[in-house]
């Protein structure tokens, strides 16, 4: 029998959280979102601030929580001590509280815990974080697992790692689309490699994860390791933009420092596909979702 209890999306104001709420609504599933903004509170929008000492009690009808909120800015994670506290201490503590309250919990993590030097790491591959944000998320995963073991709730926890997520507002897409409308060329970077997914795809995939209630490690990934040149070409094909309006460049040539430049970004999904039926999203599907 399907579980009809409500879902909680912790971090509903984020790109992932907002699209997850939309996916749950499309399926007719009851859901609450959390926010740290008092002006957004309502019957289905609850207050939660990781930096506050105010405890969070899940609604009585809730049975599942997605913990999407985190400190994700690379520069902040390197320089702001509070970012480390949020990622390594406060977020795991919140997850432990939700587990104690009887909820099934999905903790959203990142492909960057693997470091980017190995192609298609599987769900239980060893970590090799190379930047502070990745190290903090790797340690957070370990702390969350320790809490779950201590509480005897490992069967009510999964960790879902994501690759790069895009929607129509994600830089540099608005600038590209505006330039093409004016008949001007864009200069995408050839030396930035990622495995993009659309925000719509991620929302729907996470909703499926919630319905399946599979414990353990899961991955959601783009199907290909591509450059921003490849991405621009995929959009150009969809928009019938002439090829000469794409002029490849590079971050190195432009003198732009990039904190994290992995050789490989995509995640292997063999266990995730076997358990949930979810598969990586192709680059063409990403472009179609965003243009649609």
162 near 114, Cβ under 8 Å?
no
Q: Which residue has the tokens 């390197």?
A: 78
Residue at 230 is within a domain: no
Domain that holds residue 81: 6-166+198-221+264-281
Residue at 183 is within a domain: no
| 42 DSSP β-pair partners | 45
Mean local confidence (pLDDT), 32-57: 87
- How many domains does the chain fold into? 1
- State the average pLDDT for the chain: 95
Residue at 252 is within a domain: no
**b/e per residue 259-276 (b: at least 16 CB within 10 A):** eebbebbbbbbebbeebb
Residue at 254 is within a domain: no
CATH number of the domain that residue 75 is part of: 3.40.50.720
Residue at 253 is within a domain: no
* Res 239 pLDDT > 80: yes
User: What is the DSSP code (8-state) at residue 42?
Assistant: B
Percent of the chain past pLDDT 90, that is, above it, reads 89
Residue at 125 is within a domain: yes
- DSSP, collapsed to helix, strand or coil, labels residue 84 as helix
Q: Is 152 exposed, middle or buried (0-12, 13-18, 19+ CB in 10 A)?
A: exposed
Q: pTM for this one? A: 0.95
pLDDT given at position 3: 59
Residue at 182 is within a domain: no
Residue at 236 is within a domain: no
pLDDT given at position 1: 37
pLDDT given at position 4: 75
- Round to whole Å and give the CA distance between 268 and 122: 5
């Amino acid at each position: 029998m399907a579980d009809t209890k409500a879902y909680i999306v912790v971090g509903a104001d984020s790109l992932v959280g907002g699209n997850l709420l939309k996916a749950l609504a499309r399926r007719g599933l009851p859901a609450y979102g959390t926010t740290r903004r008092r002006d957004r509170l309502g019957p289905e929008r609850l207050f939660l601030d990781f930096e506050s000492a105010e405890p969070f009690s899940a609604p009585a009808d809730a049975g599942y929580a997605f913990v999407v909120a985190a400190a994700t800015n690379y520069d902040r994670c390197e320089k702001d001590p509070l970012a480390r506290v949020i990622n390594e201490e406060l977020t795991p503590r919140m997850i432990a509280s939700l587990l104690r309250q009887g909820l099934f919990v999905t903790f959203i993590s990142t492909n960057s815990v693997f470091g980017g030097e190995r192609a298609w790491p599987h769900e239980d591959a060893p970590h090799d974080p190379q930047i502070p944000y990745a190290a903090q998320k790797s340690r957070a995963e370990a702390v969350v697992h320790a809490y779950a073991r201590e509480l005897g709730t490992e069967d009510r926890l999964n960790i879902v790692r994501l690759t790069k997520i895009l929607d129509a507002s994600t830089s540099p897409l608005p600038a590209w689309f505006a330039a093409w409308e004016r008949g001007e060329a864009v200069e995408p970077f050839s030396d930035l490699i990622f495995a993009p997914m659309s925000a719509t795809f991620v929302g729907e995939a996470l909703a499926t994860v919630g319905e399946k209630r599979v414990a353990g490690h899961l991955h959601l990934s783009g199907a290909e390791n591509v450059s921003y040149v490849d991405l621009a070409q995929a959009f150009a094909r969809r928009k019938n933009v002439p090829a000469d309006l794409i002029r490849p460049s590079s971050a190195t040539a432009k003198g732009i420092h990039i904190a994290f430049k992995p050789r490989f970004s995509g995640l292997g999904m063999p266990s995730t596909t076997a358990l949930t039926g979810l598969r990586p999203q192709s680059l063409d599907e990403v472009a179609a979702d965003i243009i649609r």
